[in-house]
Amino acid sequence: MNRPLMMAAAVALVCSAAQAAEPAAMLPASNPFAQASTLPFGYPQFDQIRNEDYAPAFAEGMRINAAEIEAIANNPKPATFENTIVALEKSGQLLSRVSSVFGNLSGANTNDSFKALERELSPKLAAHSDAIRLNEKLYARIQSLYDKRDKLHLDAEAKYLLQRYHTDFVRAGARLSAADKEKLKVMNGQLANLQTAFAQNVQEEANASALVVDTREELAGMSAAAIDAAAAAAKARGMEGKFLIPVVNTTGQANLAVLTNRAVRERLMAASLERGSHGGQYDNREVVLKLVRLRAEKAALLGYATYADYALEDQTAHDAQAVNRMLAEFARPAVANAKKEGAEIQQVIEREQGGFQLAAQDWSFYSDKVRAERFNFDQNQLRPYFELNNVLTKGVFFAANKVYGLTFKERKDLPVYHPDVRVFDVYDANGKQLAIFLADFYARSNKRGGAWMNAYVSQSKLMGTHPVVANHLNIPQPKDGEPTLLTYDELRTLFHEFGHALHGMFSDVTYPRFSGTRVPRDFVEFPSQVNEMWSVWPEVLANYATHYQTGAPMPKELLDKVIASKKFNEGFRTTEYLAASILDQKWHQLGVAQIPNDVLGFEAAALKSAGIDYAPVPPRYRTTYFSHTFAGGYTAGYYGYLWSEKLDADTVNWFSEQGGMLRKNGDWFRKMLLSRGGTMDAMQMYRNFRGRDATVEPLLERRGLTEK
């Protein structure tokens, strides 16, 4: 998912209320955040928002929210669910409005003003959150309600909300001594600063690390359109006559699959691997060490052996031992599969008299040759059938219509923050509007890497709000007039992120705290992974996979090859993911006295000790550009993709067993899971849907890990 990792997440801890029409007393009416947007569903007034509107709106939002908290904490009446918990849910509306827009645009459409304000706001928002969570009187009211929770006659969602508030406050340090609370406040401010610095360094380094080549010939293997785009990118940076290849957030780079010049491939891979670790102003090594030390100190202050123990206690995995067992169980067969795949690639290299040993820069290029030999096709044969608009409207939207009864209507009248953004009204099966969906698919230099979903407005019965959600990808934008043809990975990502969007759109909860994707981190990827299944479902594929020039459907034999090759390269895919997941755990399972001095040395030793140090398959993210974990959001939680995939694979089997793409199946999945948000224990929610716990066999089969 790779959501916006900083500002929006920080404010989610402070105020969970959605948009509502209340005036902001000291904010000029000309400020677009002063009142809730009057556009449909509270859709943001992007055309009225200026850079200078954010700072005063944040300041006033925090001021009002602080006053609301004081009023709740100092209420002379005894604590009740309404005057304490519901009051907290309704608080912070202005702060929520401005943070949802700023937090999302800081990832999707940033600028120097955003970056400066982000650095200024991070510690202030951390302090504001601490002032709430460490408020003794407020915690006392919550504790008093929690102690008699079984006697309050609350419905299931309300009772769970009370439990979650109690847990949130305890985990935030509400039980610490006054002196330790002060220590914690300092730590949280420092952590906020460091996470912001890490994220901004990653984005700046990605731009600075773009590969520049001198001649068109060096880019042999890339399409003419892609080379032209590289020339245009170089010209835009004042390097006319040269060619510029951007570096994306993952270690692997798409152009490695097509560049025939090995020296250029080597330069591109080196540029990717060295990000944040080769000196200069964007070097993240010192930031990493400070972050890891502070997180370990914070965990110790809160009574935990390591930060991983602290983070995982509140996830469905519950403890580091469970995560370690899973990663270790998958690592050995995954690396064994990767080495088999590497041996096949080496045979191709030797047949072609390459005269070199397989290295990381060669994997994508030669694995495509192995695929072509084994299945008689390569990935580039697919792209003419994966035109972006077709995939979106006749694939993603078509599947949502068949499974859930949704329909979509594009609208041009609502303002957008960038011309690339498209907006759709989403209608339920009964014809009533359910949500507004924003689609922002193209890469930009001021957009962070990866793909993610976010909510501008979250659904809540208490607040009377409906979802406004967005998907963001980083698809290279073709020249004017050229079609946008997706890779297979981009196709899967489009369906994946829309699964997150569905989770947000189908939310049917009372309290903002539970809306949409506000579930444990190691559960949140599950619904999105399930939605990937429709990308190659025959009925869906037949509807969208038509040639962009001729309109001819994808030949059945090509489709059969796609299906047959689904397990191809799974050793690589699993190994690179596990390597990153293990690094995340290794860093966050360190005690305060165990923090190393050498980031790259620790990384190498960690991978070796886990038996996953296979050089041709580097981690999907190396430490110094691993924003998931070091910019927050997935800290000690990157394992969650695989943890969720166990549920996903089991659910895909359920859909198949129940007849596949049927409304009754979609309605059940929606009713029992997608609509429930975080209103109950996530694993119990899954049991209620499936009738049992998930089994691991479908995942092992999918990943090709059952073969000896």
Catalytic residues: 497
Do residues 302 and 173 lie in contact, with contact meaning Cβ atoms separated by under 8 Å?
A: yes
Of the candidates 198, 211, 201, the residue with the CA atom closest to the CA atom of residue 253? 211
User: DSSP strand E in 401-504: where?
Assistant: 407-411, 422-427, 433-442, 452-457, 468-475
Maximum Cα interatomic distance, the chain, rounded to a whole number of Å: 84
Structure token digits, residue 601: 């040395």
Determine the angle formed by the axes of helices 521-531 and 488-505, rounding to 10 degrees: 120
d(CA 91, CA 158) in angstroms, rounded, equals 17
Do residues 208 and 282 lie in contact, with contact meaning Cβ atoms separated by under 8 Å?
A: yes
Across the strands, what pairs with 660? none
Query: Which residue shows structure tokens 């010192």?
Result: 286
Residue 471 backbone dihedrals phi, psi, to 5 degrees? -115, 140
Determine the angle formed by the axes of helices 570-588 and 285-301, rounding to 10 degrees: 60
Rounded to an integer, what is the distance from CA 517 to the centroid of its chain?
Answer: 11
Do residues 127 and 10 lie in contact, with contact meaning Cβ atoms separated by under 8 Å?
A: no
With 0-12 / 13-18 / 19 or more C-beta atoms within 10 angstroms meaning exposed / middle / buried, residue 378 is: middle
Across the strands, what pairs with 199? none
Terminal Cα-to-Cα distance of the chain (whole angstroms): 32
Determine the angle formed by the axes of helices 521-531 and 682-690, rounding to 10 degrees: 30
CB-CB neighbours of 173 under 10 Å: 23
Radius of gyration of the chain from Cα atoms?
Answer: 25
Structure token digits, residue 146: 């929690």
